[in-house]
Chain A
């Protein structure tokens, strides 16, 4: 598993307004593009110093491509990252706090201890 790479995807998308919209509109295409073009970017290095080995597992790739925040939670994605990005994409379609509460309700079957978020 590559929890780090899931978190890196969520982090890099959340920081970029254009990528937030792209991921909302075309999640599968964005995940495919990002894994091919961005996953091995070493942050704070220029392109020539890219890493070569990072890729998603099939389960991780599918969770991201399906906007499946419940699966991401179960995989140990950092919940702050998932929440902020998903609010950015979907809060607009709902009333005040409606999306945030529904987001929590969909996780109701989880009890302590939650999946470990250490990368």
Chain B
């Protein structure tokens, strides 16, 4: 059976690519520290020696739209083109082509359905920065096959927070039941407090540093009980109107397991939103 060698949760700040590649006067003052943090974070994936990446993210109205919006969708394609015109326009992100692993996609779909998740699927999925940002930060070689999983954190009505946790638990179980010798890393990106298109956007910090502090503590300690007690679809409006992306962090806590402390925790207080980086090694780093 396949082995989950690393579980990784992070933010997906789309400005990293431009900030880290900028030179001279264009290079922002926080870029060097940001690169140092990312380089250390990247090593936590490299050390796990993964063969395939299951990538949890959320489409930002690039391919999925209000005419037909899935709550949870699994990509099943041999390749995924990536990044969209408006991401190139706003963030300078490059076009990318990532290889898929259709066998693992098919297994997640079949076993996920059997476990009670009515997963949507796509054989022609073009992915966006929620998945390419962690490739850029954690695996810039972009050499490993991926299985993208999209969640709806964006277009109400949304699934309840507990459903994200349950999906994470199911993803872990399903991957470990995959008849394969491959080493799988599960990488998911979400948000801490974040406001987009509202009065609190683009402040010197995320819109709610107090929420960020609590959220980092929940994730770092695997405190799903406290997290589920305090987080509701309604409460997530308070830290910022785009904070529902935090439910993808909750999904990753489900993958890692309740009560499971992260083996690696780091953060960086940036403008707009706080960056946060977590890695769990379910079987130890050398497993």
- Chain A residues with CB under 8 Å of chain B are 4, 7-8, 11, 14-15, 17, 42-44, 73, 78-84, 87-88, 97, 100-101, 103-105, 107-110, 112-114, 116-119
Contacts and interface: CB of A to CB of B under 8 A. Distances in A.
Interface of B: 60-61, 65-68, 84-86, 89-90, 154-157, 195-202, 237-238, 241-242, 271
A33 to B, nearest CB: 21
A103 B201 contact: yes
A97 B202 contact: yes
21 contacts: A8-B66, A14-B86, A15-B84, A43-B65, A43-B67, A78-B61, A78-B155, A78-B197, A79-B196, A80-B154, A80-B196, A87-B90, A97-B202, A103-B201, A104-B199, A108-B199, A114-B198, A114-B241, A116-B156, A117-B156, A118-B156
Contacts, number: 77
B61 A80 contact: yes
Contacts of A119: 66, 155
Contacts of A110: 198-199
Mostly helix, strand, loop or mixed at chain B's interface? loop
Nearest to B69: A119
B197 A79 contact: yes
Contacts of B237: 112-114
Contacts of A79: 196-198, 241
Contact of A15 (B66, B85, B90, B271): B85
Contacts of B195: 104
B150 to A, nearest CB: 15
B202 A104 contact: yes
Contacts of A104: 195, 198-202
Nearest to A100: B202
B60 A80 contact: yes
A118 B119 CA distance: 22
Contacts of A117: 156
B65 A11 contact: yes
B202 A101 contact: yes
A85 to B, nearest CB: 8
Q: Which 5 A-B pairs have the closest CB atoms?
A: A79-B197, A83-B197, A118-B156, A107-B199, A104-B201
Contacts of A7: 66
A8 B90 CA distance: 20
Contacts of B155: 78, 119
A56 to B, nearest CB: 16
A17 B87 CA distance: 12
Nearest to A107: B199
A17 B90 contact: no
A10 to B, nearest CB: 9
Contacts of A83: 196-197, 201
Given A17-B85, A78-B61, A78-B155, A73 B198 contact: yes
Contacts of B238: 112
Nearest to B154: A80
A113 B85 CA distance: 33
Nearest to B158: A118
A108 B201 CA distance: 10
Nearest to B157: A118
Contacts of A113: 237
Contacts of B84: 15
A49 to B, nearest CB: 12
Contacts of A87: 90
Contacts of A84: 86, 90
Contact of A80 (B157, B197, B199, B200): B197
A83 B60 CA distance: 12
A111 to B, nearest CB: 8
